[in-house]
């Protein structure tokens, strides 16, 4: 099979940053210190399920904080936005991931991606026991990854035995009634969540699942309701890299989340999931090679979300008058006369691309006055599935159009046309 230029590019990127050896493997969770600092993988998964990978992309490691946005999505699914916002804020803390960053008045954690917010989100996951909650989280994460994931129990025990700071955070949240009962089960669930084993490939596919509106691009399974994807990506964009989130968004313009296991998962909404795995971390707990690779990827491939070159493409691919469209359907003279008559008034717009406001505006602008309100109403109230259905039918050949029969007299039954 011909080598893909993208694979070559990733190979070159991997070679370029293999020489970057600054940073330290995490050791505050003793089991994590056993990681090989040389491990290094880069993986890109497209929204439609194509995966490019180079380096140690099948080397298992623990997901750690990359788990937090996924659990946040599960808490939103369970309780809805308003209820979760009452318990967990969406403001960047500007502090380290394990800081006791609670709102001075309410005692609520500032966002769901610092440990305090992640522990609170864990308490909102359905399940009365640690086992139930962990099973829910494993099931959700496996949908994102498109395969059954498991827990690295050695890392779990190591974290549970040394998780004193997180326990302090757990009891602070109990003190402010953010967690409404003994936090022990929630804390153990959180330690299990962080100890779920993934690979760099899994993280890229999880990112592509978010890029694809919550549906796994390989299995077609939904991992999170579409309406919460923007919430998850928003906190990833503003808080995902802790007190380096500002610098990250400035350079990459991509929602992302890092973990002390050495993983970084980044998302280009609607397009890509990107993952880098390298255990050497900087002061903020972000993978050093992961940061460098993502900065280069964004610059080289123009991935920055705020890059104006990603303008909306005009939605009208072709506009025709009904009478100029040739049809093979055989009709009675009366029917033909009727169509000829209305044909002058019928315009067919063939649309393409995502029906976003910006692209549809270019359609509404050219619609004859009378039709505008109808079109606008139709567009604004459709969800994306309906919009893409509307888009698809506007390109269907006539024989595939849904059978909406105009009230014409019945056609003469087909006989042998030669008679
Ligand atoms: O709670 C902890 O400290 C770890 N389980 C997760 C921290 C983490 O991954 C921070 N990320 N950069």
Give the position, in ligand 1's atom list, of the atom nearest the Cα of 64: 9
pLDDT per residue over 223-239, tens digit each?
999 999 999 999 999 99
CB atoms within 10 A of CB 324: 8
* pTM, two decimal places: 0.83
Q: Where are the beta strands (DSSP E) in 241-346?
A: 256-258, 263-268, 272-277, 280-281, 316-321
Give the position, in ligand 1's atom list, of the atom nearest the Cα of 194: 5
Q: Is 90 a catalytic residue?
A: no
- Model pLDDT, residue 79: 98
CA of 259 to the centre of ligand 1 (A): 6
CA of 56 to the centre of ligand 1 (A): 21
pLDDT per residue over 265-322, tens digit each?
999 999 999 999 999 999 999 999 999 999 999 999 999 999 877 666 777 787 776 5
Region 331-354 average pLDDT: 77
Distance, CA of 122 to chain centre: 20
Q: Is 190 a catalytic residue?
A: yes
The DSSP element (H or E) to which 151 belongs, if any, is strand 150-151
- Model pLDDT, residue 326: 61
Asked if residue 379 has pLDDT above 80, the reply is no
- Model pLDDT, residue 23: 97
Residue 290 near residue 207, CB atoms below 8 Å: no
Q: Which of 198, 215, 224, 260 is catalytic?
A: 260
Beta bridge partners of 244: none
Report the distance separating Cα 261 and Cα 385, nearest Å: 37
Report the distance separating Cα 190 and Cα 179, nearest Å: 13
Region 200-212 average pLDDT: 98
Q: Is the dihedral of CA 62, 43, 121, 259 positive or negative?
A: positive
For 80-163, where are the alpha helices, taking DSSP H only? 81-87, 115-123, 130-145, 153-162
Q: Is the CB of 98 under 6 A from ligand 1?
A: yes
State the pLDDT confidence band at 414, using cuts at 50, 70 and 90: very low
Pick the closest to residue 98 from 122, 117, 85 (CA basis): 117
Residue 149 near residue 198, CB atoms below 8 Å: yes
The rounded mean pLDDT for the chain is 87
Asked if residue 372 has pLDDT above 80, the reply is no
Residue 290 near residue 317, CB atoms below 8 Å: no
Q: Which residue has the tokens 């299995």?
A: 219
Both structure tokens of 48: 């439609």
Region 144-159 average pLDDT: 98
Q: Is the dihedral of CA 372, 377, 378, 379 positive or negative?
A: positive
Helix (H, G, I), strand (E, B) or coil at 318: strand
Strand duo 61-62 + 41-46: pairing: unpaired
Region 81-93 average pLDDT: 96
Asked if residue 56 has pLDDT above 80, the reply is yes
């Amino acid at each position: 099979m011909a080598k893909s230029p993208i694979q070559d590019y990733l190979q070159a990127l991997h070679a370029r940053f293999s020489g970057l050896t600054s940073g330290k493997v995490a050791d505050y969770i003793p089991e994590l210190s056993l990681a090989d600092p040389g491990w290094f993988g880069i993986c890109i998964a497209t929204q439609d399920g194509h995966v490019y990978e180079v380096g140690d992309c099948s080397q298992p490691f623990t997901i750690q904080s990359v788990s937090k946005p996924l659990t946040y999505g599960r808490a939103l699914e369970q309780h809805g936005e308003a209820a979760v916002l009452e318990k967990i804020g969406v403001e960047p803390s500007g502090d380290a991931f394990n800081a006791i960053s609670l709102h001075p008045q309410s005692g609520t954690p500032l966002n769901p991606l610092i440990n305090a917010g992640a522990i609170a989100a864990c308490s909102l996951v359905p399940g009365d026991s640690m086992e139930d909650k962990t099973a829910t989280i494993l099931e959700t994460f496996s949908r994102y990854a498109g395969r059954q994931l498991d827990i690295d129990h050695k890392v779990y025990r190591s974290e549970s035995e040394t998780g004193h700071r997180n326990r302090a955070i757990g009891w602070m949240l109990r003190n402010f009634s953010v967690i409404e009962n003994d936090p022990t089960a929630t804390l153990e669930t959180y330690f299990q969540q962080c100890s779920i084993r993934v690979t760099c490939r899994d993280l890229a596919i999880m990112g592509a699942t978010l890029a694809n509106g919550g549906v796994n691009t390989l299995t077609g399974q939904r991992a999170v309701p579409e309406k919460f994807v923007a919430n998850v990506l928003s906190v990833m964009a503003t808080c995902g890299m802790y007190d380096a989130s500002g610098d990250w968004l400035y350079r990459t313009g991509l929602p992302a989340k890092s973990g002390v296991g050495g993983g970084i998962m980044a998302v280009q909404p609607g397009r890509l999931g990107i993952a880098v795995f390298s255990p050497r971390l900087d002061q903020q707990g972000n993978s050093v090679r992961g940061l460098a690779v993502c900065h280069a990827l964004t610059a080289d491939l123009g991935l920055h979300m705020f890059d104006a070159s990603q303008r909306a493409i005009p939605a009208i691919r072709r506009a025709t008058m009904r009478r100029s469209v040739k049809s093979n359907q055989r009709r009675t003279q009366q029917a033909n006369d009727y169509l000829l008559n209305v044909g002058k008034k019928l315009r067919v717009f063939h649309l393409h691309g995502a029906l976003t406001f910006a692209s549809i505006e270019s359609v509404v602008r050219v619609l004859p006055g009378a039709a505008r309100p109808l079109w606008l109403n139709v567009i604004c109230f459709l969800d994306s599935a309906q919009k893409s259905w509307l888009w698809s039918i506007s390109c269907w050949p006539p024989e595939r159009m849904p059978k909406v029969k105009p009230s014409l007299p019945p056609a003469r039954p087909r006989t042998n046309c030669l008679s």
